[in-house]
Amino acid sequence: MPGRQPLRRPLAQGRSSPRPGPLPSARRGSRHGTGPACGPCRAGSRAARHPFAAPAGIARPPPQLSLLARRDWSSNNDSERPAMQIGIIGAGNIGGNLTRRLTALGHKVSVANSRGPHTLTALAEETGATAVPVAEAARDAEIVVVAIPVKAVPDLPAGLLDAAADGVAVIDTGNYYPRERDGRIAEIEDEGITESRWTQRRLGHPVIKAFNGTYAQDLLDRGRPAGDPERIAVPVAGDDEEAKRKVRALIDELGFDTVDAGGLDDSWRQQPGTPVYGLRAGADGVTQALAEASPERAPEFRG
């Protein structure tokens, strides 16, 4: 395995983080019950892998939004900030909690999953989001979040983004788990393209990689105002600078700093098995973890 590689260019921190270094509490979440986006643990049951997975046969009530989770923590908090139309494809841990947070912040959210709108009635009633078929999720959306397993991306309907707003930003939260879920994908492993580059090719539209190493419960619990010493940071990678700006502003609104992790071909630095994956740290800590990443894929994340 090659040694740790230096960055090809400096990584830009989110401008809303004045901290001199990583949080004193910077750490990874427990592997059991707090895994990142679609984040299975290395071992354990399904219930252990997913933050809101209940034991078989037992229904778990939906997570309740705290008052903190209902706040707009944007560093440029503007009471006149217009609501955006946001489409979320996938209503699992990350998609469901983004639906909760973004509706609480006043955005108009359309949410879809592979099983149909009738299976999202409870989430829609809880949040005020509109449950729609997948083909309708991006209609008029300024931001679309794709929060589904990597293996399901090719099954998304053709022309999914045709009815989206001009300049729509597409967030890819996905992670490639060849052994546990997705099967082996030759383009990722043999050609060496990044996971999000593969997703972008399937969608035919630029994507911004974000939230792939974020713990789902953190979306509800860990948003903090700009400048708070406990504010954690999210790495964001992509080639479309305007879309990246829009995504970073949304993450700021949710209460998290951002670190510009470079273009989409640099997004291997935040894939599963890298130092930043699942890391809870401030912008400096995230920047350091990105710089320490190796391009060599860890054996447990190879097919």
The tens digit of pLDDT for each residue in 244-278 reads: 999 999 999 999 999 999 999 999 999 999 999 99
For the cut 70, the answer to whether the pLDDT of residue 200 exceeds it is: yes
> Per residue in 96-146, pLDDT tens?
999 999 999 999 999 999 999 999 999 999 999 999 999 999 999 999 999
Give the lowest-confidence range in 21-35, 111-125, 206-220. Answer: 21-35
Give the lowest-confidence range in 11-15, 48-52, 155-159. Answer: 48-52
Q: In terms of Cα–Cα distance, which of 132, 32, 122, 48 is closest to 88?
A: 132
Amino acid at 36: P
| 3-class DSSP state of 81 | coil
What is the Rg, in whole angstroms, of the alpha carbon atoms belonging to the chain? 18
Q: Is 219 within 8 Å of 34 (Cβ atoms)?
A: no
Predicted TM-score of the model (pTM): 0.80
**CA-to-CA separations, 60 to 52, 53, 142, 220, in angstroms, rounded:** 7, 7, 32, 16
Q: Identify the structural domains of the chain with CATH numbers, from first to last.
A: 33-39+81-301 (3.40.50.720)
Strand order in the sheet with 208-209: 130-131, 108-112, 85-89, 143-146, 169-172, 208-209
| 3-class DSSP state of 208 | strand
Type and span of the H or E element at 100: helix 93-104
Furthest C-alpha separation in the chain: 52
For the cut 50, the answer to whether the pLDDT of residue 45 exceeds it is: no
pLDDT score at 41: 37
Query: Cα separation of 85 and 157, whole Å?
Result: 20
Q: Which structure tokens are listed for 137? A: 């999720």
174's CB contacts (< 8 A; 6+ apart) are: 37, 38, 146, 147, 148, 149, 150, 153, 195, 196, 199, 212
Which pLDDT band, with edges at 50, 70 and 90, does 78 fall under? Answer: low
Q: What is the mean pLDDT of residues 180-199?
A: 96
Reading phi first (left if > 0) and then psi (alpha if -120 to 50, else beta), residue 118 is in alpha
Q: Is the dihedral of CA 88, 219, 237, 153 positive or negative?
A: negative
Q: Is the dihedral of CA 63, 277, 275, 291 positive or negative?
A: negative
Rounded to 5°, the CA angle 230-232-235 comes to: 165
Query: Cα separation of 177 and 145, whole Å?
Result: 19
